[in-house]
Structure 1
């Protein structure tokens, strides 16, 4: 196939997510044209380890013939049904399998098109429930700085990544943001225990200041993924849940990234962090990236509050519960269980995290952090975590260039490299991935020294 024109077509016609207007129509993106296992192949035929796992989502790896067959069989039998008026056995089975694995009484699965629409659905249901309970003023959503919950209007409104909030309108009256929960930025000499108490107090103080009668929910990622793989201090989520219960505030656990095996369990909220949320949102690994899908999973207790009312939850999507996506989800779930991938993740996590920590010795690295098969390497020119934004972008871009030269695809998030490889990655492949990343970081450090010496 002649691909000589595709870069022009890409620049002329494909508006990408987070498209920078300054470079619009002038980008030289890597084209991913094939993949197998943990590797992707670019337009030059070069094989690269997929460090970010697509975008946190390729749990079982690429090129699974049985996934393609399951999706093709479903498409041949039934490619689509209207979820507004009908149902389908494949989708119903998938809902049941998710409910069986979700924590506590989270038995009600509302299928969406992805993570953003899952969060929108969760917020809309919270508002819907409060309207039916006769408390229409109870609508505020508390979130956190650095949190990312999506790019649809409501989801973006409760996302706290400052640099994403500059140019687009949001429902500013809806959201309230707590200060950064990253232990890296605690006060000099402050213990982690003291930092934990401070962060929990931030939540309680916000609820009291806003008025419990006005606060509907607290939304939190177990690990703040796109914000830089920020792991809150131990006990944070449990303490926050207790505060929410005290003031009748619902707890939405945004597991778009952490669910379906990223931390070695189907869901992380209960098993890893010891909390029973009122709503869990998920997407990403639901289908291992083979088809778009997300879900908001709602507790029986909340459903009981609205069941039997003369009202309609007027929320939904043409592709809610799409049967081909549901078939992909069922097959992915089957593969994860058959190949014991959750156990595998738990077994290789110490190797992954040890390799990650060793990168902290490199001079441009200011912090390394992670959990499960999630990691972040944060860099700066002068070893200052609060370095210049322009320099930060340059560092991230150069690390990407140096790693791709050596056979590793990374995801630069400004001055951070985030890692979330396919769950099937082996011990030797983990070591290979970090070896390439180390060389890429060292080469970037040398490049920076050359630039600064001129």
Structure 2
């Protein structure tokens, strides 16, 4: 592992974190917490001075890596000296207006408006309230139900948690405020028709339509799904799935939403993965890559037909977020989009994605890897016990995903995601600026790590 000068404050920071910091989605007592001190290109450095390839883009956020700070700082400084803050509550400012226009111009259709939020969960919650306002305004207030997919993650605030299909996240938090029917996700692995796109797609769509009818077709307001589902490990959709969802939504007067918090802004090689699927959803939620993580921001893109009843009847959208559309975040999002266009970042993803997929699929030669799936710069390896793709039990997953792999990845100088919100998977999502040599390096390190994992698990 490449090691540079350690941070002299390492010990103090470790102790201070234990005493004062509450970690997200983490056990609160962690020995030798990874504290990242600085970044450069696709690399980050911890307070020990150790270098890591950030093969997860800091949880699917850092599209551009870590070398554009000076440009971002210049944009931020100019905005801070001009107007440090303004809300979007009945007023606006140039940075947010210009960003809304730019984001709309990149969307899958030419009639989107943009509502800004602080992040992904807020975007999903805001979208649902927009959906409800729409149906109230058109005289269909009974539409209070939704359809979402099993294991899908759409946020953990209490409203967004209704749509999330990861059951352990929901336990203990009471009855969800939204009635949501869960349908099958698009994981082909272990499915008898998983190798037949037409049959697999037809079965999935029939299940969605049956769910709408069973819930009461005139009571369902929304179908929500990710173009590539994250939880469970990078599930891509079969050909025709999204056009089928669009047709079902239109048939029953339901709105269709794409949750693109992860896939938006280049992760799949397009501004929006929905465009690749050939549909223009009624709503699109985004966050993460919107600013390339240089500032917190999310948004909901809403098509004109959804917002039109509120405009025509001069209705108040009864929802707002104090820091939604913050001027500082807006100029940094605009700068990120400018850099992605200027430096041909989407073209880089498109040119490298096929080869990256081929490289990752070579890991199937390892006995612990049962399946590889994904798209663009977003891939998962499902880990299994044997050639029959037997699942690891809970104790084995704890040993592998929370014991062995995090330490072995750290020793390999690689940041990736170990997850079992479903089956056991290891995920990567490299920065979109990664070149062929770096992608080769990532897969090479994964090969070493997973070889050792197989030995550790006796596979």
Per the TM alignment, residue 412 of structure 1 is displaced from its structure 2 partner at its CA by: 1.1
Per the TM alignment, residue 309 of structure 1 is displaced from its structure 2 partner at its CA by: 1.9
Per the TM alignment, residue 366 of structure 1 is displaced from its structure 2 partner at its CA by: 1.5
Counterpart of 1:183 in 2: which secondary structure? Answer: coil
TM-score normalised by length of structure 2: 0.93
Deviations 1:368-425 (A, max 9, x none): 1110110001113345353312212321232222122121111111331111111000
* Structure 1 partner of 2:29: 25
Deviations 1:87-141 (A, max 9, x none): 1111111111001111114421000001110110110010111112222110101
For residues 412 and 178 of structure 2, the distance between their equivalents in structure 1, rounded to whole angstroms, comes to 47
* Structure 1 partner of 2:42: 38
* Structure 1 partner of 2:61: 57
Task: Give the gaps of 5 or more residues in structure 2.
Answer: 1-7
For residues 381 and 166 of structure 1, the distance between their equivalents in structure 2, rounded to whole angstroms, comes to 29
1:409 aligns with 2:415: yes
Deviations 1:38-57 (A, max 9, x none): 00111111111001100111
Whether the 8 Å contact between 2:194 and 2:200 is mirrored in structure 1 is no
Q: Please, which of 104, 108, 130 is the counterpart of residue 109 of structure 2?
A: 104
* Structure 1 partner of 2:368: 364
Task: Give the gaps of 5 or more residues in structure 1.
Answer: none
1:9 aligns with 2:31: no
Whether the 8 Å contact between 1:106 and 1:278 is mirrored in structure 2 is no
Taking a change above 3 Å as real, the CA distance of residues 439 and 190 of structure 1, as seen in their structure-2 partners, is: closer
For residues 71 and 290 of structure 2, the distance between their equivalents in structure 1, rounded to whole angstroms, comes to 16
TM-score normalised by length of structure 1: 0.94
Counterpart of 2:124 in 1: which secondary structure? Answer: helix
1:128 aligns with 2:133: yes
Whether the 8 Å contact between 1:106 and 1:279 is mirrored in structure 2 is no
Q: Please, which of 380, 387, 395 is the counterpart of residue 384 of structure 2?
A: 380
For residues 308 and 407 of structure 1, the distance between their equivalents in structure 2, rounded to whole angstroms, comes to 56
* Structure 1 partner of 2:448: 439
CA RMSD of aligned residues (A): 1.7
For residues 78 and 110 of structure 2, the distance between their equivalents in structure 1, rounded to whole angstroms, comes to 33
Q: Please, which of 184, 192, 197 is the counterpart of residue 197 of structure 2?
A: 192
Per the TM alignment, residue 154 of structure 1 is displaced from its structure 2 partner at its CA by: 1.4
For residues 172 and 57 of structure 1, the distance between their equivalents in structure 2, rounded to whole angstroms, comes to 29
Whether the 8 Å contact between 2:112 and 2:304 is mirrored in structure 1 is yes
For residues 171 and 26 of structure 2, the distance between their equivalents in structure 1, rounded to whole angstroms, comes to 14
For residues 222 and 75 of structure 2, the distance between their equivalents in structure 1, rounded to whole angstroms, comes to 38
